[in-house]
Amino acid sequence: MSDNEVRVRYAPSPTGMQHIGGVRTALFNYLYAHSKGGKFILRLEDTDRTRFDEKYVENLYDTMSWLGIDWDEGGSKGGEYGPYVQSERFDLYKKHAMELVEKGEAYYCFCDSERLDRIRKIQTENKMAPGYDRNCRHLTAEEIEKNLKEGKPYVIRLKVPMEGTTTFTDHILGNIEWKNEDISPDPVLLKSDGFPTYHLANIVDDHFMKISHVMRAQEWIPSTPLHVQMYKAFGWPHPEFCHLPMVNGQDGKKLSKRHGSTSLNEFRARGYLPMAIVNYVAMLGCSYEEGKEFYTLEGLSKKFSLEHLNKAPAVFDYKKLEYYNGNYIRSLSDEELYKWTLPFITGTKDALLPLNPESPEPQPKVGPEYSGISLGDDGEPVCVDKSMNMSSKEVKEKLMALMPLIKERLKYLTEAAEMVRFLFTEPSVPQAEQIIPKKLDAQKTKEVLEEAKAFVQKLPAVSHEEGEALAKEYAEKLGVKLGDFMMPIRMAVTGSRISPPLIGSILILGADESVKRIERTLALF
């Protein structure tokens, strides 16, 4: 590695599922590394063993892969500065904690939990700033030796300067000055069980992995003066800092579950495409090229710059993300759309990912219950209604034929399930009031449906454009608007007011079956 090589990292703690805030941090680090020809490192900071769960590790790697955010070191890829999991580096942390003790930059603390609890109680009662009272900071060598010989449990604490200031420069916020008296007083570096705290492990790892830039959320700014002091204590240069603006909801408060989906698993379960999320998230708090909205991951990498990051919090707009998602859905080929929608049509894979039950967003209507299609043991779609006498091959052919029709109407992949249902199960005959347009009466609606039989039978012999023209002719003949002509037909044929384009749907379903459904509906009148 050259001395000026850009090396950045995303180092989450595996204590929860990946969410939008974390993904943006990972993405910005990835984009910066690639914009500079550098390296993007994926590291696990798993020192919090009380909340650690292997499923969160799996979710991290799965999420990054799904988004297409590839890393250069870490995980299964390894690298020359590994291991990239903190729980596998404990000997290194202990060694350097003791090094600080030897240098006089840290010290043994023998205070037990009861004493620390008393301190906290006194501080709370007297409305004092919380923190350690530095009781063990001035123990003599003899006192320390005596306590160690007696086997008293201890932690290692950093000696934070009690006077003066700590300054550092942030790429976005400029020069930041912090009074040393406001830094957490002598925080623990090494716990009594030999586990490092986050701060020690983070600093040691960043140094030995040669991290050049630390890009993280602005909520970490209060920790940065402490980190600068730790680098100083070790005698190491600290990396450059860039604290990213927060991501808020439209109410100006930090983005959370109350605003809607935040977990990447939930976005997946709700039918978002990875590139839509990547493209939109990349725009949160960063500008690229005026007037341009859509980029490939490679395009974003070429345009990304620290100078284009904003100071102000970014606002997460779900409607804007919906716009991006719809755009990317329309850009898919029919084969790609089939691949992406099939899990939601059949209720498999991403459709099975858990959703936040308290989300203000409605539950997606996916799976066989809504589509009439399940997934066979061979991985091919199967019609649930056996009376349809439809082979798996026929199911796939009809689905593929529908893809160009539904593509223009999908905002989410989940919407595909209900849109395809009319092909694979015979819809219930709607109520008369559902069929009759607002501006028509029952008698006129009946006339529309009677004429619709002849209209439908003519469609197989004409093009789609000619079919649209033919529909207009029939509407004019009946003296009704085109929408009032098509809506009763749509309800009769598909059982829904929302469906793929009607003429195309009739052609795929077949004129005979369409007429049959119209005749069943006419029986209502």
Active site residues: 257
Contact 254, 248 (CB under 8 A): yes
Contact 163, 175 (CB under 8 A): no
Contact 313, 62 (CB under 8 A): no
User: Quick count: other Cβ atoms within 10 Å of Cβ 520?
Assistant: 14
* C-alpha pair distances (Å), 447 with each of 403, 441, 469, 485, 488: 32, 10, 19, 10, 11
Contact 255, 262 (CB under 8 A): yes
* C-alpha pair distances (Å), 104 with each of 185, 208, 233, 254, 413: 16, 22, 9, 41, 60
Q: What share of the chain is helix, strand, coil (3-state, %, to 5)?
A: 50, 10, 40
Place of tokens 């490679």: 298
Q: How far apart are the C-alpha atoms of 219 and 230, rounded to whole Å?
A: 19
| CB burial string 457-491: b at 16+ within 10 A, e below | eebeeeeeeebeeebeebbeebebeeebbbbbbbb
Where helices occur in 270-346 by DSSP H, the ranges are 274-282, 297-303, 318-330, 334-346
Q: How far apart are the C-alpha atoms of 468 and 462, rounded to whole Å?
A: 10
Alpha carbons within 13 A on the beta-carbon side of 358: 5
> Strand, coil or helix: what is 40?
strand
Q: Which two tokens mark 260? A: 């809607």
Q: How far apart are the C-alpha atoms of 290 and 311, rounded to whole Å?
A: 18
Q: What residues contact residue 386 under an 8 Å CB cut-off, 6+ apart?
A: none
Q: How far apart are the C-alpha atoms of 487 and 506, rounded to whole Å?
A: 13
Q: Which two tokens mark 142? A: 């003899």
The 8-class DSSP code of residue 151 comes to T
Closest Cα to residue 355, out of 416, 276, 270? 270
* C-alpha pair distances (Å), 115 with each of 109, 122, 125, 135, 212: 12, 11, 15, 10, 40
Cα torsion at 351, 353, 354, 359 (round to 10°)? -60
Closest Cα to residue 34, out of 62, 66, 6, 1? 6
